[in-house]
Amino acid sequence: MNVTTKYDRPNSYIGSSVPRPNAARLLQGRGRYVDDKILPRMLHAAFLRSPHAHARITRIDTEAARALPGVVAVYDGAEIARHVTPWQGVLTHLAGMRSPDQPALAIDVARWQGEPVVMVVAQSRAIAEDALALIEVEYDPLPAVTDMEAALTEDAPRIHPEIDSNLCWQRDIDAGDVEAAFDDPANTVVERRFTFGRHTGVTLEPRVCIGDYDPSEDRLTMHYSGQAPHMMQSVLSRHLGVPEARVRVIAEDVGGSFGIKIHTYGDEIATMAAAKLLKRPVKFAADRLESFMTDIHARDHRVTARAAIDAEGRLQAVEIDDITGIGPYSVYPRSSGIEGNQVINLIGAPYELPAYRARLRVAFQNKVPMCQYRAVGHPIAMAVMEGIMDDLAAASGRDPVELRRINLRADDSYPSASPQGMKFADLSHQACLDKLLDMMDYERLKADQDRLRAQGVYRGIGFVNMVEVTNPSPMFYGVGGAPIAAQDGATARLDASGAVHVANSITEQGQGSESILAQITADVMGVDLADVHVTTGDTATVPYGGGTWASRGAGIGGEAMLRAATALKDQVLEVAAAILQGRPEALDIRAGNIVDRDSGQIRMGLADLGRTVYYRGNELPDGVAPELIATRHFKVSDYPFVFTNGIMASHVEVDAETGIVTLLDHWVVEDVGTILNEKLVDEQIRGGVVQGIGGALYEECVYSEDGQLQNATMADYLVPMAGEMPDIRIAHVSTPTRTSELGAKGAGEAGTAGAPGAVMNAVNDALRPLGARLSQMPMTPERVLKSLRQGG
Amino acid sequence: MKTNAFAYQRPDTAEEAVRLAAEGGDGARFIAGGQSLLAALNFRLDEPEALIDISRIATLRGIERRENRLLIGALTRHAEVAASPEVARDLPLIARAMREVAHPAIRNRGTFGGSLALADPAAEMPACALALDAVMHVLSPEGRRQVPAAEFFCGMYETALEPGELLTGVEIPLPEPGARHGFSELARRHGDYAMAGLAMMLGPRSGGVPSWARVAFFGLSDCPARSAAAEAAILSGARPEDCAAKACEEIEVFGDLNADEATKRHYAEVMLRRELTRLANDEERTA
Amino acid sequence: MSATLPITLTVNGESVSADVAPRVPLVDFLRETLGLTGTHLGCAHGVCGACTVRVDGAAVRGCLMLAVQADGATVETVEGVSDSGEIADLQDAFHRHNALQCGFCTAGMLMTAAELLDAGGPPPERAEIREHISGNYCRCTGYQSIVDAVEEVAQARAADKGGQA
């Protein structure tokens, strides 16, 4: 598809699917991931972790471990706590949320299986692990609170004695006359209970960090595999007592993150503390077992949903009760409340909905902490609402597409707002639906489905309409007191050779952040893409800003880049005009040369200009500063978020005898506003869809009743692999956001947001003639079989 | 996930290997392809004192035809078995099953004998060995002995191998012309260990029924298991669905994370019915 | 601690001798001793494929082989096959199709795909490509672009061969 934007012109880069310049390194094995770094005198950390979900620690004996040759230090929770202050994962704007102080390593009580208890620092990771085997810890097991609903009962054991229950946070929404809608006998009402399993991010590169402390200057450097260097800088400063300006966080190549590596982990903070105490570099690289037992988990919801439509099929009310289990602490500094908050904020968002009531309860439990992972809350909101839409369609005898069409927000209805108070603008549900139906040939698929059913082949089609949070404003985190910037900064400068160097506070984890920054800059500056050099991820060298998360890199960091590059161009043209004795407005930059705007005639090269300014400043007229550098920052104003939208459909076949689901097709139409690089957008969506499919069909952290994780290996925790995944077809509708000049909305989470619901609806569409329905993810073969036995 | 420290020895002959194992006692382990062993060691599920690397003992590697038998050396890589024209021609059950064994890089290093000696209850090759009536060749300092597959698999990761005994090769009688094989595996993803699997050989038909039948299931129990009841039903000429109903009659089925006991029983029946039906349809088509 | 053992092997065409502890896996030896950090460690139990390297011509898991077991072997890593130009067409196709995002799986994916492309026979179908790389985990791409890239190279190489015949 050819994407045309207002920037489109010969040799433009915005909207062009150029290959990522920084991918060439990675293809030749020349990446620079944290674990690739070997610093002089570097030591290695390993952690003894609680084998119990909940236990009092009664004795720790580390004598034998300390005596092992090669062991340099052993720290328990109390020792680390002398050097690290505890943290609390609460946001003040999530009113009433509470979570007690969390120490880096457990002190006195361990509250999940996998919580770090003792840290060993040794000359190698292998020796550190040898030492772990020599540590004796005595535990007095306490009752484990694992089920999220049981956790909130009166007589449930308390996970934190200082809090009067295991409730972390509750939020209620009540807008419009919900009761009247459900009481009206003319309305069709459906109700359904959904269960969404816990899963986790399984970044291929596990969490890894190196702390490097120089006592002579009181400087701490963290080599960081993560998404938000400036946030981490602030966290380290706050809790390790090093002045913020003397903390440097460097994120070079990151082997996947997806929200996993943006949180505060006790083992990482302890590693920084050890580096400070030992005055030597210390590396901690989580192994895969540690990843499963300590990386944040995600989802874990039980949702009861009720909805009513009138005789014409128009939605009258939706009522939601969502309970989610977050482990023993709300995670710092983003909190574990955002996931559930987004569930209840986003349900029903694609539709005109007059009345809405919701209750969210966030419960503590003795499991791995749960927090924001790609598409935070969205997959739950979409799967619940779209599942209910299918139920309403079936109950009222309508085609699922017809019912959706009746209720979708109209493309000419913006700005508008939902009963939850979400402000929408620049959405395109109707255009997306039309495009999707065309792309998938819906009528033919339905005909095939009917024909095959007669032969005992059960295929299903499932839809999901999506509204997604992207480009968040300070109303997301900063307003609640978290050290998390909603703005991003960009610097652009011209060097003496005429090349352009840019630095930006957004980060790269493979999305293509650096590529789109180069594209925007080259486009604005009129230079070849190869002449733009990008720096990200280093708090010492990039402007202050939030990083890459919440689908914000292109929309916020990209806009800052656009403005910085524009300012640099203005400077260049001003200087050029002074040298050439003309007017800046009459000049332009094309293909790396200053040209006459009208005729295109080359006046001087950027290299000439650079050398003149930097080497022969004496040739510049008086009053012209030798300044070819500009920094601009950008935040979203007027809207708390730049919502965007899309639609998906999934096509599956279910083997009714084995319960095995085969994915046949998957289609996506997404509106990301201005498309900077369609190839990158599409690959973000595809990867996201497959992560969503993971949650829908495969991935689940299976716990025993006493809080033991049963499948903490990659042989037992199933991630999507190539063999089972379908080809995914993608098309676009482009409605630029009014909140920026660039017009870009986010794209990173769309796939993950919608895919689970689409697949669930498709499976249920396949099962419908068999009288079965499934409302639990992942939809394992066994669960499909059970739904067939129970008849839904 | 680093292993404990251990000693490493690399004998040149099988005899030296078993001698070293005898010296090493309880703390010694043979390592062949290492594709399961090293994973277990990385988790420190096992902490041996010494590894005896047998992977370069040339006499234990290769595929050889001996009259009406195929001898597969214990160290023959899965990939070599999969690529063998003899195996494809004479033991199509193994060729078929090999496609489901893990992934290419594992098959490049994992060994045929290693898979049998490990006796993972959900692995393909042990069940194939049962269905093919294979004979295990075993070496110890005391000498050589042979163990039929039917007596080899004793339990979860347990075989008839005594401590220090080495599986040197597997002798598989070639099925007579007209024999047919059936294979089915239900796994959640390609290459995973099975939720349930079936490896089956049926003798040439005589009087409308197979002359013999060996039906082996994997992934159901603590070790691969023949189903005598299903075999008897097949030999009696029962319909596929009636044979299938007998699938787990004498098999003790254990559930796991992916499928509980009832689901596994159901899977065994579905697989057996489908494979018998397929074979019957093939028969009809060729008739 | 057990004593170290001397090993000599050929890595990317260069003879290398070292004393290693028996417990050191090949992937750690390549990364930490030789500085060949293009090969990655993802799971250390053979499931994710990030550590896939070529030993004596076959793609194997670097985490499920000890360095001492590679004594006398010929080992090739992504650095070697990049510098030799052997898989330049595959790397170019990966680049154009954006068949990598974070890049952590890429070395293993390339080594695995290269083996399929070298297998001979007609160019593999998409399903065959998917099956062949199904032991290599990629969390970022969703695999389709990887399949696209491998398919394109398989067809281009087949066409080249056809042209030469």
**Domain at B17, CATH number:** 3.30.43.10
Coil, helix or strand at residue B14: helix
Q: Residue C61: give the domain boundaries.
A: 5-82
Q: Please indicate, yes or no, whether residues B21 and B98 belong to a single structural domain of this protein.
A: no
Give the global pTM.
Answer: 0.97
β-strand A602-605 against A356-363: which pairing, if any?
unpaired
* Predicted local confidence at residue C40, as pLDDT: 98
CA distance B228 to chain C (A): 35
* CB spacing of A702 vs B257 below 8 angstroms: yes
Domain final position from C38, C65, C82: C82
Judge whether B99 is closer than 8 Å to chain A, CB to CB.
no
Q: Can you read off the two tokens belonging to residue C110?
A: 């390339």
Give the count of domains, chain B: 3
**Domain at B118, CATH number:** 3.30.465.10
* CB spacing of A126 vs B3 below 8 angstroms: yes
| Chain segment A651-703, per-residue pLDDT in tens | 999 999 999 999 999 999 999 999 999 999 999 999 999 999 999 999 999 99
* Predicted local confidence at residue C2, as pLDDT: 57
Q: Please indicate, yes or no, whether residues B81 and B166 belong to a single structural domain of this protein.
A: yes
Taking CA–CA distances from B102, the nearest residue in chain C reads C135
**Candidates B3, B6, B8, B77, partner chain C, best to mutate (most C CBs within 10 A):** B8
Q: Please indicate, yes or no, whether residues C74 and C97 belong to a single structural domain of this protein.
A: no
* CB spacing of B105 vs C65 below 8 angstroms: no
Question: Does residue B218 form part of some domain?
Answer: yes
Q: Please indicate, yes or no, whether residues B49 and B62 belong to a single structural domain of this protein.
A: no
Taking CA–CA distances from B191, the nearest residue in chain A reads A723
- Percentage of residues in chain A with pLDDT exceeding 70? 98
Judge whether A126 is closer than 8 Å to chain B, CB to CB.
yes
Domain final position from B173, B192, B209: B173
Judge whether B45 is closer than 8 Å to chain A, CB to CB.
no
Taking CA–CA distances from A24, the nearest residue in chain C reads C95
All residues of chain A having their beta carbon less than 8 Å from the beta carbon of residue B266 are 785
d(CA A748, CA A750): 6
Q: A556: closest CA among A678, A474, A670, A494?
A: A474
All residues of chain B having their beta carbon less than 8 Å from the beta carbon of residue A660 are 186, 188
Q: Can you read off the two tokens belonging to residue B153?
A: 């698999």
* CB spacing of B270 vs A658 below 8 angstroms: yes
Q: Please indicate, yes or no, whether residues B85 and B25 belong to a single structural domain of this protein.
A: no
| B34, B104, B189: residue with CB nearest C65 | B34
Domain final position from B126, B156, B173: B173
* CB spacing of A203 vs C139 below 8 angstroms: yes
Q: Please indicate, yes or no, whether residues B26 and B71 belong to a single structural domain of this protein.
A: no
CA distance B122 to chain A (A): 13
**Domain at C29, CATH number:** 3.10.20.30
Q: Which of A53-62, A190-199, A361-370, A467-476 has the lowest mean pLDDT?
A: A467-476
**Domain at B282, CATH number:** 3.30.390.50
Taking CA–CA distances from B105, the nearest residue in chain C reads C60
A275-294 burial, b for 16+ CB within 10 Å, e for fewer? bbbbebbbbbbbbbbbbbbb
Local confidence band at A2 (pLDDT 50, 70, 90 cut-offs):
very low
Local confidence band at C1 (pLDDT 50, 70, 90 cut-offs):
very low
* Predicted local confidence at residue C163, as pLDDT: 64
* CB spacing of A686 vs C106 below 8 angstroms: no
CA A790 to each of CA A767, A774, A783, A784, B125: distance values in angstroms, whole numbers, following the listed order: 12, 10, 10, 10, 36
| C23, C60, C132: residue with CB nearest B108 | C60
Distance of CA B136 to the CA centre of its chain: 11
* Predicted local confidence at residue A594, as pLDDT: 97
Taking CA–CA distances from A17, the nearest residue in chain C reads C96
* CB spacing of A723 vs B190 below 8 angstroms: yes
Q: Please indicate, yes or no, whether residues C66 and C95 belong to a single structural domain of this protein.
A: no
* Predicted local confidence at residue B208, as pLDDT: 87
CA distance B190 to chain A (A): 6
Taking CA–CA distances from A701, the nearest residue in chain B reads B257
Judge whether A787 is closer than 8 Å to chain B, CB to CB.
no
Q: What is the ipTM of this complex?
A: 0.97
Q: Can you read off the two tokens belonging to residue C16?
A: 């290398």
* Predicted local confidence at residue A1, as pLDDT: 33
Q: Residue B33: give the domain boundaries.
A: 7-53
Q: Please indicate, yes or no, whether residues C116 and C66 belong to a single structural domain of this protein.
A: no
CB B275 within 8 A of CB B244: no
* CB spacing of A23 vs C103 below 8 angstroms: yes
Taking CA–CA distances from C42, the nearest residue in chain B reads B1
All residues of chain A having their beta carbon less than 8 Å from the beta carbon of residue C102 are 26, 203-205, 253-257, 509-510
* CB spacing of A781 vs B186 below 8 angstroms: yes
Question: DSSP readout, A39-77?
Answer: -TT-EEEEEEE-SSSSEEEEEEE-HHHHHSTTEEEEEEH
* CB spacing of B195 vs A698 below 8 angstroms: no
| Chain segment C66-86, per-residue pLDDT in tens | 999 999 999 999 999 999 999
Judge whether B5 is closer than 8 Å to chain A, CB to CB.
yes
Q: A364: closest CA among A92, A104, A53?
A: A53
Q: Please indicate, yes or no, whether residues B65 and B158 belong to a single structural domain of this protein.
A: yes
Domain final position from C50, C82, C114: C82
Q: Please indicate, yes or no, whether residues B208 and B245 belong to a single structural domain of this protein.
A: yes
Q: Please indicate, yes or no, whether residues C46 and C9 belong to a single structural domain of this protein.
A: yes
| Chain segment A598-655, per-residue pLDDT in tens | 999 999 999 999 999 999 999 999 989 999 999 999 999 989 999 999 999 999 999 9
Averaged pLDDT, A262-266: 98
Local confidence band at A489 (pLDDT 50, 70, 90 cut-offs):
very high
**Residue matched to tokens 């065994």:** B268
Local confidence band at A4 (pLDDT 50, 70, 90 cut-offs):
very low
- Percentage of residues in chain C with pLDDT exceeding 70? 97
Sequence-ordered list of residues with C-beta below 8 angstroms from that of C118, at least 6 positions apart, any chain: none
* CB spacing of A721 vs B260 below 8 angstroms: no
**Domain at C121, CATH number:** 1.10.150.120
* Predicted local confidence at residue A11, as pLDDT: 61
d(CA A382, CA A755): 9
CA distance A141 to chain B (A): 24
Q: Please indicate, yes or no, whether residues B232 and B151 belong to a single structural domain of this protein.
A: no
* Predicted local confidence at residue A6, as pLDDT: 46
All residues of chain B having their beta carbon less than 8 Å from the beta carbon of residue A781 are 186, 188, 195, 258-259, 263
Q: Please indicate, yes or no, whether residues C75 and C131 belong to a single structural domain of this protein.
A: no
All residues of chain B having their beta carbon less than 8 Å from the beta carbon of residue A126 are 2-3, 5
All residues of chain B having their beta carbon less than 8 Å from the beta carbon of residue C65 are 34, 38, 109
* CB spacing of A686 vs C103 below 8 angstroms: no
Judge whether B186 is closer than 8 Å to chain A, CB to CB.
yes
Question: DSSP readout, C60-96?
Answer: EETTSSBGGGGTT-EEE-HHHHHHT-TTHHHHHHHHH
Domain final position from C82, C113, C131: C82
pLDDT at residue A5 above 80?
no
| A28, A202, A254: residue with CB nearest C102 | A254
Which partners does chain A have (≥3 C-beta pairs < 8 Å)?
Answer: B, C
Question: Does residue B226 form part of some domain?
Answer: yes
More confident residue, A790 or A113: A113
Give the count of domains, chain C: 2
Q: Please indicate, yes or no, whether residues C46 and C96 belong to a single structural domain of this protein.
A: no
* CB spacing of A722 vs C143 below 8 angstroms: yes
**Residue matched to tokens 């234990």:** B60
d(CA A621, CA A157): 78
Q: Please indicate, yes or no, whether residues C16 and C58 belong to a single structural domain of this protein.
A: yes
Q: Please indicate, yes or no, whether residues B37 and B95 belong to a single structural domain of this protein.
A: no
Domains and CATH numbers, chain A: 23-31+487-634 (3.30.365.10), 34-142+206-254+260-294 (3.90.1170.50), 378-473+638-790 (3.30.365.10)
Computed over every residue of chain C, the mean pLDDT equals 96
Question: Does residue B78 form part of some domain?
Answer: yes
Question: DSSP readout, B100-139?
Answer: TSS-HHHHHH-BHHHHHHHT-TT-HHHHHHHHTT-EEEEE
Distance of CA A560 to the CA centre of its chain: 21
Which partners does chain B have (≥3 C-beta pairs < 8 Å)?
Answer: A, C
Local confidence band at C162 (pLDDT 50, 70, 90 cut-offs):
confident
Q: Please indicate, yes or no, whether residues B155 and B223 belong to a single structural domain of this protein.
A: no
Which partners does chain C have (≥3 C-beta pairs < 8 Å)?
Answer: A, B
DSSP state letter for A734? -
All residues of chain B having their beta carbon less than 8 Å from the beta carbon of residue A782 are 258-260, 263
Q: Please indicate, yes or no, whether residues C65 and C78 belong to a single structural domain of this protein.
A: yes
Question: Does residue B217 form part of some domain?
Answer: yes
DSSP state letter for A555? I
* Predicted local confidence at residue A12, as pLDDT: 85
Cα angle value A738/A739/A743 (rounded, 5°): 65
Q: Please indicate, yes or no, whether residues B156 and B263 belong to a single structural domain of this protein.
A: no
Among residues 49-78 of chain C, which lie with CB inside 8 Å of chain A? 50, 77-78
Local confidence band at A9 (pLDDT 50, 70, 90 cut-offs):
low
All residues of chain A having their beta carbon less than 8 Å from the beta carbon of residue C146 are 722
Question: Does residue B1 form part of some domain?
Answer: no
Question: Does residue B243 form part of some domain?
Answer: yes
- pLDDT one digit per residue (tens) for chain B, 287 residues: 999 999 999 999 999 999 999 999 999 999 999 999 999 999 999 999 999 999 999 999 999 999 999 999 999 999 999 999 999 999 999 999 999 999 999 999 999 999 999 999 999 999 999 999 999 999 999 999 999 999 999 999 999 999 999 999 999 999 999 999 999 999 999 999 899 999 999 999 988 899 999 999 999 999 999 999 999 999 999 999 999 999 999 999 999 999 999 999 999 999 999 999 999 999 888 87
Question: Does residue B2 form part of some domain?
Answer: no
All residues of chain B having their beta carbon less than 8 Å from the beta carbon of residue C110 are none
d(CA A629, CA A650): 49
pLDDT at residue A314 above 90?
yes
Q: Please indicate, yes or no, whether residues C72 and C110 belong to a single structural domain of this protein.
A: no
Q: Please indicate, yes or no, whether residues B226 and B272 belong to a single structural domain of this protein.
A: yes
Averaged pLDDT, A233-255: 98
Coil, helix or strand at residue A642: coil
